[in-house]
Amino acid sequence: MRLGPLARALRRGRRPIRLGSLGSTEPISSSWGFDRGTPIDRWYIERFLAENRNDITGRVLEVKDSGYTDRFGAALAERAVIDVDPANERATHVADLASADAVPGEAFDCFLLTQTLQYIYDVPAAIEHAHRVLRPGGVLLATLPVTSRLTDPPLTDYWRFTPASAGRLFEPAFGDSVTVTGYGNALAGVAFLKGLAAEDLKDADLAAQDPRFPLIVTVRAVRGG
């Protein structure tokens, strides 16, 4: 028998959420819901990657670690990691994506660029480098926030995006091979800002898509020959 959200919350030891709890000006969780389960934006990110898992193959580049490559990839020849932080021992390429000239061009079959561009001031330059490091026919799978709390220092949030702005940002580099999709709805957005986890909501509520209230934007872009 499938458990409802209340029963799941009790089973996991989480405090059930009543509508009245949303009246507080403070979030229920200050860590995007990690302490309660799966952050709601990650619920959408993981479904986007699962839908495009056939692209995650060969030589794959990911930001910060290879977690999504390991989870969704197949027939992997390389699990490369890019990070601006030189202290990250998992990074095979230490670079700011907006000035990543040291990363070899036409080197990767897939680039997983999830929830990163909001921290880069020069977004067009970062997208140009994302295009450059892909081999012809390589695929960029990117996600960008529409709605989110600000990240704590030392990271700096510069941007939020919409499906329209994402399309215009990626098209100069990738042309007409760009597919942009918004995921989310008003309930998911409110729940995410308050720090609820995906496990606090029904899957059907999360799966409902309302183009007026996307929580994240996803981009699938293919480098031409």
Predicted confidence at residue 92, as pLDDT, reads: 97
Specify the fold of 44-184+211-222.
Rossmann fold (3.40.50)
CB 44 within 8 A of CB 90: no
CB 118 within 8 A of CB 147: no
Predicted confidence at residue 225, as pLDDT, reads: 79
Q: How many angstroms separate the CA atoms of 123 and 118, rounded? A: 8
Q: How many CB atoms lie within 10 A of CB 15?
A: 11
CB 130 within 8 A of CB 93: no
DSSP state of 39: B
CB 96 within 8 A of CB 120: yes
Q: Which residue in this structure is represented by tokens 């990767």?
A: 108
Predicted confidence at residue 13, as pLDDT, reads: 61
- At 110, which amino acid appears? C
Predicted confidence at residue 127, as pLDDT, reads: 98
Predicted confidence at residue 24, as pLDDT, reads: 83
Predicted confidence at residue 196, as pLDDT, reads: 95
Predicted confidence at residue 4, as pLDDT, reads: 63
| Helix or strand run (H / E) with residue 75 | strand 74-83
CB 39 within 8 A of CB 188: no
**How do the domains of the chain map onto residue ranges?**
44-184+211-222
| Helix or strand run (H / E) with residue 76 | strand 74-83
- Identify the CA nearest to 206 among candidates 189, 181, 220: 189
Predicted confidence at residue 8, as pLDDT, reads: 62
Predicted confidence at residue 126, as pLDDT, reads: 98
Predicted confidence at residue 51, as pLDDT, reads: 98
Q: Which residue in this structure is represented by tokens 């020069």?
A: 122
Predicted confidence at residue 168, as pLDDT, reads: 98
Q: How many angstroms separate the CA atoms of 49 and 45, rounded? A: 6
CB 60 within 8 A of CB 69: yes
Q: Which two tokens stand for residue 154?
A: 């030392």
Predicted confidence at residue 192, as pLDDT, reads: 96
Kindly give the confidence (pLDDT) of every residue in the chain, 225 residues in length, as a single tens digit, with 9 standing for 90 and above.
455 665 565 556 666 666 555 678 898 988 889 999 999 999 999 999 999 999 999 999 999 999 999 999 999 999 999 999 999 999 999 999 999 999 999 999 999 999 999 999 999 999 999 999 999 999 999 999 999 999 988 889 999 999 999 999 999 999 999 999 999 999 999 999 999 999 999 999 999 999 999 999 999 999 997
